[in-house]
Amino acid sequence: MPAQSRAVSSNQRDLHPRLCTVVKRHLQSSYRRPAAPHSVTAFRLLLARLAQDPRPLVLDSFCGTGQSTAILAGRHPGHLVVGIDKSGHRLGRHAGAPADNYLLLQADCGDLWQLLLREGLTVDRHYLLYPNPWPKARHLQRRIHGHASFPWLLRLGGHIELRSNWQLYVEEFGVAMHLAGHPGVVARLPEAPAITLFEEKYRRSGHSLWCFRGRIQPGRAVT
């Protein structure tokens, strides 16, 4: 029998008490960090692909093995779906059939977000599927919504979908989006075929799955 997955265990029972303070500080400041060389190399591959075949972008950040990237490419045939993950090992396990509308890149997601913005590029859709929840309270600022790169995600625009098997993580993300002026909907994810290996494992293990869905309103993104 396949191994079961444990539910998220955390010493945090409610929204982090510093959530609003941390998010507002990041929204009001300008985060600058040089992109890593391997991320720059990956970004150049993306630019070359767009030069050959210009398409609107869909990002699949923290894509793991890229299973979700291949599935999303089927759902968005007119777009270039870009799967980004920092682990070459995970990307090396990709088993999808080659397609002309998706690309897997080994890079830091924050680096790629920053590089896209510098190039003046935005996205139509942005998927954040089962990122590391960093469940210990002291790790708030390692979560997507608690990290200083969060404003970059906002400036990329588009429809946003985040999924997690930790309800509190999704609720925090929803609060952060609301603070940024882009409220969305937090809801339990209905039964449907899994689009990531984690989603399949969590469903098999009986976890409740949660999602945030929203849209960055044009002209209201954080600068």
Quick one: pLDDT band at residue 30, thresholds 50, 70, 90? confident
High-pLDDT (> 70) share of the chain, %: 95
Residue ranges making up the domain that contains 125: 35-216
Find the CATH number of the domain harbouring 133.
3.40.50.150
Question: How far is the C-alpha of 113 from the C-alpha of 179, rounded, in Å?
Answer: 20
Q: What one-character-per-residue DSSP string does the chain give? A: -PPPPPPP--S--SS-TTHHHHHHHHHTS----PPPHHHHHHHHHHHHHHHHS---EEEEET-TTSHHHHHHHHH-TTSEEEEEES-HHHHTT--PPP-TTEEEEES-HHHHHHHHHHTT---SEEEEES-----SGGGGGGSGGGSTTHHHHHHH-EEEEEEES-HHHHHHHHHHHHHTT---EEEEPPS---SSHHHHHHHHTT---EEEEEEEPTT-S--
What pLDDT, on a 0 to 100 scale, did the predictor assign at position 220? 52
What pLDDT, on a 0 to 100 scale, did the predictor assign at position 14? 87
The count of other CB atoms within 10 Å of the CB of residue 205 is: 14
- Per-residue pLDDT tens for 85-115? 999 999 988 887 667 899 999 999 999 999 9
Judge whether 222 lies within some domain: no
Judge whether 141 lies within some domain: yes
Q: Give 216's strand partners.
A: 158
- Per-residue pLDDT tens for 114-147? 999 999 999 999 999 999 999 999 999 999 999 9
Judge whether 174 lies within some domain: yes
On the question of pLDDT at 212 being above 80, the answer is yes
- Per-residue pLDDT tens for 41-98? 999 999 999 999 999 999 999 999 999 999 999 999 999 999 999 999 999 888 876 6
What pLDDT, on a 0 to 100 scale, did the predictor assign at position 64? 92
Judge whether 30 lies within some domain: no
Judge whether 184 lies within some domain: yes
Structurally, the chain folds into a number of domains equal to 1
What pLDDT, on a 0 to 100 scale, did the predictor assign at position 181? 94
What pLDDT, on a 0 to 100 scale, did the predictor assign at position 218? 55
**CB 182 within 8 Å of CB 217:** yes
